[in-house]
């Protein structure tokens, strides 16, 4: 939702680039690892949690890198 809002409110076309697609996949991977990782590897709770966190941080980093300029500059 944040990507669509940022693009729409800044007057840009609502067409996802590879950055948005990678961000979406990383968010889904983060949730899937967090939920199903414990079922598949119960003794590695902190490893699963760390992998999930790395996916989320990667997604947020991609989002921030791509959208920082969009949300901090005036609409074109």
Confidence of residue 2 (pLDDT cuts 50, 70, 90): confident
What number is the average pLDDT over the span 1-24? Answer: 92
Query: What is d(CA 31, CA 55) in angstroms, rounded to the nearest whole number?
Result: 9
Domain that holds residue 51: 19-70
Cβ-proximal residues to 75 (8 Å cutoff; 6+ apart), any chain: 9, 10, 11
In a domain, 12, yes or no: no
pLDDT value at 36 more than 90: yes
Is the entire prediction scored with pTM above 0.95? no
pLDDT score recorded for residue 61:
97
Query: What is d(CA 10, CA 29) in angstroms, rounded to the nearest whole number?
Result: 29
In a domain, 64, yes or no: yes
In a domain, 6, yes or no: no
In a domain, 8, yes or no: no
The b/e string for 48-71 (b: 16+ C-beta within 10 A; e otherwise) is: beebbeebbebbeebbeebbeeee
In a domain, 40, yes or no: yes
Report the domain count for the chain. Answer: 1
């Amino acid at each position: 939702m944040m990507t669509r809002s940022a693009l729409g409110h800044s007057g840009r076309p609502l067409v996802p680039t590879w950055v948005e697609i990678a961000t979406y996949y990383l968010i889904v991977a983060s949730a899937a690892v967090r939920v199903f990782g414990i079922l598949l590897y119960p003794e590695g709770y902190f490893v699963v949690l760390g992998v999930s966190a790395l996916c989320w941080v990667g997604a947020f980093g991609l989002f921030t890198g791509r959208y920082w300029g969009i949300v901090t500059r005036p609409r074109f």
